[in-house]
Amino acid sequence: MSIASTPPPAFRRSAPLAQARTHLRPVPDARSWGETAPLPTVVSEGLPVPTLDGTVDYANFDHAASTPALVSVKTAVDSALRTYSSVHRGNGWASRVTSAWYEQARAEVRAFVGARDGDEVVFTRNSTDSFNLLARCLPRDTQVFVFETEHHAALLPWSARRTHRLPVPGSVADATVLLRTALREHHGRHRLVVLAGASNVTGEVWPVRELAAIARAAGARVVLDAAQYAPHRPVDLDDLGVDYVVLSGHKLYAPFGAGVLAGRSDWLDAAAPYLAGGGATKAVTTRGVVWQEGAARHEAGSPNVIGAVALAAACHSLRTHAAAIEAHESLLGRRLLEGLAAIEGVETYSLFSPDHERVAVATFTVDGIDSSLVSAALSAEHGIGVRDGKFCAHLCVDSLLDDAYAGDATTAVRASVGLATTAEHVDRLLAAVAELAEHGPRADYVLGAQGWAPVGDPRALDIARPW
């Protein structure tokens, strides 16, 4: 078979399809554990998707990008929409109910992140918005320290002149040395260290407590990017030793455009409002403006109350089912990583080491096949959704591919497990990747403006609008 592109890469089957070697043993589905390990249900469970040969149950391995909504989140949203009204703007019954739920949502999120007395919980649009809000609130002379492994949301908002980027570490020990050295070399009255809870590229859990202790010993504050961490591990500001935490609802099974910045109030109250407008003001006169303090200072305008309710409902469900979720993801994540590592022609990637603790994420390449073609073939031929590219962490991916044997690969494939993933999905992915590594794609593909697509793709893409 041939693959059409410029120049056209060629793939030839080395053996009949039935002889593809996967060497996989069955693994029990965590959902079969019954009442001993209940799991929240997602609204997309059993979603049928078209392939080149028919229709299959969608195998969702793209949780690290955006999670499907929980059924409990949909229920909460449906309830909130019935009385949906202005927040903090009216005395009508619906407005008072909506305002109460908005603040109760803030309290739920406060509990979810382990906020301390005096900490603020500010609703934002997402993690990117939260980091940009914090960047606007830093004292003028603040020195920022951030590893180049960070997602662009955490890497880019800071002043270039006062930001010190630490290179990609090769081990936990290397990370501690890099941070300690940077803090020793760059002094300042105010310093902020940016840390990831878990890598959005490899899923590896960062040594947050150890690095935060180094920062505190040097008199620096710490902001934790929990976007990839909070869906899988408990977050507690005090226990982790951090000053601020940032997270996104669309990573937490509440994809309704809500995020959070939670943490110490002094820098937030001293800064100019993130947005100027109603709700952020105490008083407006011809002589000037008196701004609010607390969360309201940075939540001008009519807030996304439905997003806040969705986020709070998701946080409640994740807290309630935390042990079952971790067991489910640990089982399937281990299966995924071990299975990929056993396939000849597949390379998996790690920042620290292959056996380092991680959430259920695996990043890999297939020898001789462009990662976007791997992604397209998994979707078209097997009904599997993964992510390909550099995952908004270009410096991290470039370093990983440069340091490891990746052939000519410049991008990678990321498979991320979550509540929409089952054991059958994992086995289907492993079998599909093994087939790709040994034989290449089943169909002919052409590279166009929208990426790789099967020649004569029969799948209908002109889906009717939902309204």
Active site residues: 392
Angle between helices 71-82 and 305-320 (to 10 degrees): 140
Structure tokens at 334: 């281990």
User: Do 277 and 289 contact (CB within 8 A), yes or no?
Assistant: no
DSSP state of 404: S
User: Do 228 and 199 contact (CB within 8 A), yes or no?
Assistant: yes
> What percent helix, strand, coil does the chain show, rounded to 5?
40, 20, 45
CA separation for the pair 360, 65 (Å, rounded): 13
Tell me the H-state helices in 196-304.
208-217, 237-240, 266-270
Which stretch of DSSP H or E encloses residue 278? none
CA atoms in the 13 A half-sphere facing the CB of 165: 17
User: Do 369 and 440 contact (CB within 8 A), yes or no?
Assistant: yes
Burial 188-218 (b: 16+ CB within 10 A, else e): eebbbbbbbbbbbbbbbbbbbeebbebbeeb
